[in-house]
Structure 1
Amino acid sequence: MVAHMEKTPLFAPSQNAPSTETAEAGIDKLMEMNLSDAKYYLNRELSLLAFNWRVLQQALDPSIPLLERIRFIFICSNNLDEFFEVRVAGLRHDLARGDTKPSLNGASTEEVLKDINVRAHELVDEQYRIFNEELLPKLAEESIQFLPSSEWNDEQYKWLKKYFKHQVMPVISPISLDLAHPFPRLVNKSLHFLLHLQGNDAFGRDLEYAVLHMPRSLPRIIELPAKVGGNKAHNFVYLSSVISEFAEDLFPGMEIHGCHQFRLTRDSDLLLEENAIEDLATALKRELQSRNFGAAVRLEVGKSCPNKIVNFLLQKCSLTADELYRVDGPVNLNRLMSLPELVDRPDLKFSGFTPKVPHDVARRGVYEVLGERDILLHHPYQSFQPVVDLVRQAASDPDVLAIKQTLYRTGSHSPIVEALIDAAHAGKEVTAVVELRARFDEADNIELAQRLQEAGVLVVYGVVGYKTHAKMSLVVRQEGKSKKLTRYAHLGTGNYHAGNARIYTDYSLLTSNPETCEDVHKVFQQLTGMGKVYELHQLWHAPFTLHKNLLAAVNREAKHALAGKKAMMIIKLNSLTDQSLIEALYRASIAGVQIELIIRGICCLAPGIEGVSENIKVRSIIGRFLEHSRVYYFFNNGKENLYAASADWMERNLYHRVETCFPILQADQKTRMINELKLMLKDKRQSWVLQSDGEYRLADPNADADTKVQQILLERLAD
């Protein structure tokens, strides 16, 4: 992934304590360095595939309960779907329009696609190997098994034939392929079967092929009832096995020489010329109708599918052999995600927990506590309920005059949304900035916006050309005899999605700090109104001040290091791709700054390059919860500046989205969050350490599982 590195350091800071003038000269010298050479960077797409490989490795971890291990197989499959739908599809677009701009590591689009082809095939092969050879035998040992048709007894065969007749046949429609019925438009990611037929049908047609489309309403795994299940507690059958066994019932009088499952993945990104759109919601609705029928990017078929059938499908789907994936099992593994819920075995799942509400908040209420101090919550260990209560209580409080809220992803039954509707019905001024373009949630957000508008909420779609990704709530309340207006705000690193708050790690800050609330108010004013850029007191916000302030903070650490002072950073992100910030981190490393990066997913920075990034360590924490919080810590000569944010260090976040970065000001909360960051750096069992060549290694495979940082935080913060 990265070329051979030069051994000579680019810049060696003095070991003695330099003067301020020397430090300033050192900074100038650092800024003159050319660190844009492709050999210093890793490829974004391969880094994302490497993340999915780390997810897959959780399925091999014996310290994880069995049904949770198999869940990681399905998560990996779902992630790969999106990778092909968006990333691979985007690269194919670039190639088609002749976009020759190389990636950060110097690879051309064509080269990246070739590398993806190799890595993705390796990943898929390993995924099915683990599923078949590691997990299915262990499930069988726990009396949970999948029965192939060759092992059905007479009673099971009869039950499944009846199931097929009454539950499957009524909802599927075979499509014969002839001159009147050309190859159909296949729905994205749906399970299909191609049948090889022989004989004449009722109309005398000599048919060779037919296609079956499986509706999403049909479960992909079927559990046999106990009375026919056999000697295992849970006996499952794949829908694909049932279709293959009884497909002949759909074609009476004809011979079936093969029934082959396949699945097509299509380009699912929506391309909108926003400047030419008068009504964004209407345009999105129109685009969503075609999402399931974008250009094909991947074909999955069963391992035993004959070459004749494969070539027929590739030709009909306009794909090449490189875009073919032969799989040893169901072609749609992510649709097996329901398995853990179908099996009532708590001993094979993670132990349950109750997210904790801080004691004084539970006893006194959100607003009373906020009158005295900020509230810092770390989800999912601590409850999302205080965030909901901030809005819900405001909805029924006669002293609340206005509520402002950003909504990016909320889920279908959001208590926040219900509270906003209640507030509007109560006559309060309610403004919701709804981001319609949240990928794969566009349809839900259009419906959400309509519900809010019907309730009397003022709905704004944000700013053309910029996604509103900031997570903000603002409540305006009149208090005391003087009816003084007081503001309360919530700022978060995650979405207003109660479900995600139980499986994503995120920070929430609730505050009545006047300057912070004034900043939040100004950001809302920018989103809903017009005017020049507001100067903010405490918040850094994209696309205006966030990038330049981050560069300044990184360069300040470099200056401290050059002046002989202690200098360090801990940066926690989902992804790091922005070249200017990577170059700044390289310069800081050269200056002697100790840099710890906790980056869950994509990382284009190559650590450990002699003379360039020797002082940078990168780790990725993969565990029970999805690491999602963004936190920036700068030692700053002992002042210790700490920020949480909605933004990753990616071009889209810094230049093309509305994002907020907010300081943690309360001393005890700052200390707590810094300690939690340092705890993550001590984790050996869930941390994967990035090497300079782009490969990841588990920090210590033999480390005690009890040292997992997520488990420690569960024990500290949850009930």
Structure 2
Amino acid sequence: MNQQVDIHSETYTFNNRYINRELSILDFHLRVLEQAVDPLHPLLERLNFLLIFSRNLDEFFEIRVAGLLQQLSFSNESRTPDGLTPAEVLAQISHTAHTAIERQYRILNEEILPQLAEEDIRFLRRDELTEEQAAWVKQYFHEQVMPVLTPISLDPAHPFPRLVNKSLNFIVTLEGKDAFGRQINLAVVPAPRSLPRVVRLPDELTNGHDHHVMLSAIIHEHVSDLFPGMTATGCYQFRVTRNADMELDEDVEDLAKALKGELNSRRFGRAVRLEVTQNCPEHIVTYLLNRFRLKPAQLYKVDGPVNLARLISNFNRPHLKYKPFIPAIPAVLQKSENIFEAMKKQDILLHHPFESFAPVITLLHQAACDPQVLAIKQTLYRSGPDSEIVKLLAEAARNGKEVTAVIELRARFDEESNIAVANILQEAGAVVVYGIVGYKTHAKMILVVRREQDKLHRYVHLGTGNYHAGNARMYTDYGLLTTDKALSEDVHKIFQELTGMGKMAKLKKLLHAPFTLHSQLLSFIEDEIKNAGAGKPAHIIIKVNALTEQQLIDALYRASQEGVKIDLIIRSICCLRPQLPGLSDNITVRSIVGRFLEHTRVFYFANSGGEPRVYGSSADWMDRNLFSRVEACFPIEDPVLKKRIIQQGLLNYLEDNQQVWILKGNGEWKRLVADENEQPHMAQQILLDKLSR
């Protein structure tokens, strides 16, 4: 029986107060898909959004759908706060995903490819090749493709092969007998990932035109050559998506060793989705479904390449891409070659990607070489073994600095990379720890300890995003460089907490999960409720990637009922329902989807009668961030920087009328269409114009 909650004149059941998490993230992927038809983006960027949608959906099936299927396998019929069972959620996902994928390929075939052809970028079909081009393709197949293919006949001695997650494969129907006189009707040909999925034809065969052939077309045309003496009567692409979530016993003695063992299982997890081309015969489809133990609802027939996420080629067409820009360096850093001297003068705010990530690199570079620096401590969630940050930490360790790296090995899909990072740093002499068992270390912190005139001084970087230079060019994030004594002491204590043992650290300014962050956020909301009740202005602005935590949602509902104005800028998942009469009238929810991935986590509380509270954080408002991760949430106290975040990072986004989607109370996202007389306002472009060079 649903719990009844009487709110003023309206009555809402417990269930219809919330939006389902999985359906909400799927809605975000649909917003990304719509960028592929948005004329605000150049043509090749629209193609890129189509590919991003494919990658997003792959992960959605690998993790979210796989998790729901696992619940079904355990006969779990429990309902989530939105009132849906796993089976009901899966049914809605299936309907939405099938519709979305059909739209994706329609956009590709009816809009993107024809417009690319108008720009003389063409993907030629087999029947469009000239004799000379066909001869070149044949030679390419025999010299570059055939030597690395392994055709596998399907017979009692050759059972159906274990196919890697998301790999491109072909199922081939055959006639005739092989060299051993066997009558074999079916074979599978996996396409190695080392082979490019798009092959550019030589200029001399195209008169310099930008023409390409898909690897699938090349294999299809010459697949009979793989079976001498036999005839291929059909060749059909297919791809299987598998459960890629890893289950790891938290009681393992060696986390890195255990992860290495689990990584291979990800490639061969339980199948959750089958993609085939539309021309695949029904008896072949049925055969594949049975082989992978999938139901018809898990089948997706596509009108094009089944591995669309890899439809990537380097097109030298600047006019079809975003205009390049140079991230700016803050003036205070331009005036001083020594970053330590610059940080002593003032707190420094970095707003990526509009401002450069280089100062973070500079901090580590100078720290690694400076004889006065004694120690460097850093958290690493996603970096990569080839990153400059990892090289600098290794260099610092070799230079005799006390380097401590807290590496989160379990960062999803970066586990193998992070193990490599750990090995590099350990070999250089750094102290490497993997954080706290049962809690992912998601905080973004650097601490540099420097001896100056016989005293130790701390220099700190705190961020909302990962220490990944590539992400810093594509994701919006904030970073704070500071020498504030209380903040620096807090960071020091968190590192002690992560590397040692003992009671919870008592911090002066930082809020940190899983200890104080959640309760303090609730307290801040309650303060706004009290101010509204006293007739004072009350306003909350929250910008995060996701909002799912039920207690915070309920607190925001209470604040709305008491008259607090609440503006939420949520990139992806939002389980709160805004604009419901009597419940959330004073809450608006918007999502910005544009050139850059919105990743900043910023919290604003008006705090009438005092200084506005502005925090940057590594944490989203999700259960996992607040209760199962180590997170850092840091105050912005400098009045100039605080004002800048409020105006540029929050109000600027609330004024966007070009790339914004509005969430309705029924859970539906609608693209905001600006009035004809309204001045266009695109938040990301305004920041590009204002901050970058």
Counterpart of 2:472 in 1: which secondary structure? helix
Distance in structure 2 (CA, Å) of the matches to 1:626 and 1:143? 30
- Offset of residue 363 of structure 1: 2.2
2:355 aligned partner: 382
- Other-structure match for 2:8: 10
| Matched-pair contact (CA < 8 Å) for 2:385–2:418 | no
Instruction: Report how far residue 535 of structure 1 moved.
Output: 1.1
- CA–CA distance in 1 between the matches of 2:165 and 2:608? 54
Contact 1:284-1:442 within 8 A present in 2 as well: yes
Alpha-carbon distance in structure 2 between the residues aligned to 1:36 and 1:253: 69
SS of 1:217's partner is coil
CA deviations 1:373-396 (Å, max 9, x no partner) are: 100000000000111111111111
In structure 2, the residue matched to 1:214 is 191
How far apart, CA to CA, are the structure 1 residues paired with 2:264 and 2:20?
33
- The residue number in structure 2 matching 1:17 is none
What's the offset of the Cα at 1:103?
Answer: 1.8
Q: Does 1:601 align with 2:578?
A: no
Q: For residues 292-326 of structure 1, what are the alpha-carbon distances to aligned partners after superposition, in whole Å with 9 as ceiling and x for unaligned? A: 00000000000111101100000001101000000
Cα distance, 1:412–1:11 mapped onto 2, change above 3 Å = farther
- Aligned partner of 1:685 in structure 2 is 658
Structure 2 residue aligned with 1:672, among 627, 644, 648? 644
Corresponding residue for 2:623?
651
Q: Match for residue 74 of structure 1? A: 51
Q: Retained in 1: the 8 A contact 2:674–2:680?
A: no
Q: 2:672 aligned with 1:699, yes or no?
A: yes
Change (3 A) 1:672 1:36: farther
Q: Which residue of structure 2 aligns with residue 84 of structure 1?
A: 61
**CA spacing shift, 1:645–1:672, aligned 2, 3 Å:** same
> In structure 2, how many angstroms separate the alpha carbons of the residues matched to 1:208 and 1:701?
59
Output the CA distance in 1 between the equivalents of 2:547 and 2:385: 31
Letter in 2 for 1:140: A
**1:689 partner amino acid:** I
Residues 586-645 of structure 1: per-residue CA shift (max 9 Å, x gap): 000011010000000000001110000110000000000000010000001152100000
String of CA shifts for 1:465-516, please: whole Å, max 9, x gaps. Answer: 0000000000011112xx1111010000000001110000000001000000
Q: After superposing the two structures, state which structure 1 stretch, 417-426 or 668-677, moved more.
A: 417-426
C-alpha distance in 2, partners of 1:224/1:414? Answer: 34
| Amino acid aligned to 1:334 | A
Q: What is the alpha-carbon distance in structure 2 between the residues aligned to residue 646 and residue 35 of structure 1? A: 33
Q: Which one has more relative contact order, counting CA pairs under 8 Å at least 6 apart?
A: 1
Q: Write out aligned runs for 1:224-243 (5 A).
A: 224-229=201-206, 233-243=209-219
Partner of 1:662: 634
Name the structure 2 match of 1:283. Answer: 258
Cα distance in 1 between the residues matched to 2:674 and 2:149: 48
Residues 143 and 44 (structure 1 numbering): CA distance in 2 closer, same or farther, change over 3 Å? Answer: same
Q: Give CA deviations for 1:544-602 in whole Å, capped at 9, x if unaligned.
A: 00000011111111111111111011100000110111000100001101000000000
Q: For residue 313 of structure 1, what is the aligned residue in structure 2?
A: 288
Partner of 2:228: 252
Q: Give structure 1 stretches of 5+ with no counterpart.
A: 13-33
Q: Deviations over 1:130-168 (max 9, x none)?
A: 111111111011111111112111111111111101010
- Residue 100 of structure 1, CA deviation: 2.6
Spell out, residue by residue over 1:505-548, the C-alpha distance to the aligned partner (whole angstroms, 9 max, x if none). 00000100000000000100100001111111000000000000
**Structure 1 residues 108 and 717: alpha-carbon distance in aligned structure 2, compared to 1, 3 A threshold:** same
Tell me if 1:125 matches 2:102.
yes
Partners of 1:11 and 1:402 in 2: how far apart? 61
Shift of the 11–361 alpha-carbon distance from structure 1 to 2, 3 Å rule, reads farther
94-103 vs 503-512, greater mean Cα deviation:
94-103
The answer as to 2:138 corresponding to 1:161 is yes
Contact residue 589 and residue 616 of structure 1 kept, 8 A:
yes
Task: Please tell me whether the aligned partners of residues 35 and 583 of structure 1 are also in contact (alpha carbons under 8 angstroms).
Answer: no
Q: Which residue of 1 aligns with 2:272?
A: 297
Residues 68-103 of structure 1: per-residue CA shift (max 9 Å, x gap): 011000000000000000000111111111223212
3-state SS of the aligned residue for 2:469? coil
The secondary structure found in structure 2 opposite 1:85 is helix
- Asked whether the 8 Å contact 2:36–2:49 carries over to 1, the reply is yes
Provide the residue aligned with 2:685 in structure 1. 711
CA contact (8 A) 2:384 2:418 kept: no
Q: 1:359 aligns with which of 313, 331, 338?
A: 331
Q: State the Cα deviation string for residues 182-223 of structure 1 (Å, max 9, x = none).
A: 000010000000001111100011001000001111011111
1:11 to partner: Cα distance: 7.7
Q: Does 1:347 align with 2:324?
A: no
Q: Which residue of 230, 248, 259 maps to 1:272?
A: 248
- Partner Cα distance (1:669, 1:77) in 2: 38
Counterpart of 2:645, as a letter, is M
CA distance in structure 2 between the aligned counterparts of 1:392 and 1:101, rounded to whole angstroms = 52
CA displacement, residues 381-440 of structure 1 (integer Å, 9 cap, x when unaligned): 000011111111111111111111000001342111111111111111110000000000
Q: Indicate conservation of the 8 Å contact 2:657/2:680, yes or no.
A: no
Question: Residue 489 of structure 2 aligns with which residue?
Answer: 518
Given that 2:171 and 2:187 are in contact with CA atoms closer than 8 Å, whether structure 1 keeps it comes out as yes
- Once the two structures are TM-superposed, the CA of residue 701 in structure 1 deviates from its matched residue by 5.5
Q: Is the 8 A contact 1:488 1:517 kept in 2?
A: yes
| Aligned residue identity for 1:718 | S
How far apart are the structure 2 equivalents of 1:685 and 1:411?
35
C-alpha deviation, 1:706, in angstroms? 5.6
The answer to whether the 8 A contact 2:242-2:267 is kept is yes
CA distance in 1, matches of 2:172, 2:412: 35
**Counterpart of 1:443 in structure 2: which amino acid?**
E
Q: In structure 2, the residue corresponding to 1:679 is in which secondary structure?
A: helix
Is the 1:595–1:616 contact (alpha carbons within 8 Å) kept by the matching residues of 2? yes
Distance change (3 Å), C-alpha of 1:36 and 1:449: farther
More moved, 190-199 vs 552-561: 552-561
Residue 156 of structure 2 corresponds to residue 179 of structure 1: yes
Gaps of 5+ in 2: none
Q: Which residue of 2 aligns with 1:416?
A: 389
Q: Check whether the contact 1:373–1:511 (CA below 8 A) recurs between aligned residues.
A: yes
Deviation at 1:700, TM superposition (A): 1.5
Q: Is the 8 A contact 1:176 1:211 kept in 2?
A: yes
Contact 2:403 2:431 in 1 (8 A): yes
Q: Is the 8 A contact 2:61 2:272 kept in 1?
A: yes
- Which SS does the other structure have where 1:274 is aligned? coil
State the percentage of identical aligned residues.
Answer: 56
Deviation (angstroms), 1:63: 2.0
Size of the aligned set, in residue pairs, is 687
Contact 1:573 1:648 in 2 (8 A): yes
The amino acid that maps onto 1:65 is: P
Q: Distance in 2 between matches of 1:157 and 1:694?
A: 52
Deviation, structure 1 residue 227: 1.4
Shift of 1:290: 1.4
Structure 2 partner of 1:558: 529
- 1:366 deviates by 1.8
Give 1:698 deviation, angstroms. Answer: 1.3
For residue 104 of structure 1, report the CA deviation from its aligned partner.
2.1
Q: Aligned runs of 1:30-179 on 2, under 5 Å?
A: 37-179=14-156
Task: Report if aligned partners of 1:706, 1:712 keep a CA contact under 8 Å in 2.
Answer: no
Q: Distance in 2 between matches of 1:10 and 1:423?
A: 62
How much has 1:357 moved relative to structure 2?
0.7
Matched to 1:408, the amino acid is Y
Q: Quote the Cα distance in structure 1 between the aligned partners of 2:87 and 2:76.
A: 10
| 8 Å CA contact 1:685, 1:699 repeated in 2 | yes
Which of 653-662 and 90-99 deviates more? 90-99
| Structure 2 Cα separation of the partners of residues 702 and 119 of structure 1 | 30
Q: Using structure 2 for the length normalisation, give the TM-score.
A: 0.97
| Residues 9 and 610 in structure 1, CA contact (< 8 A), matched pair in contact too | no
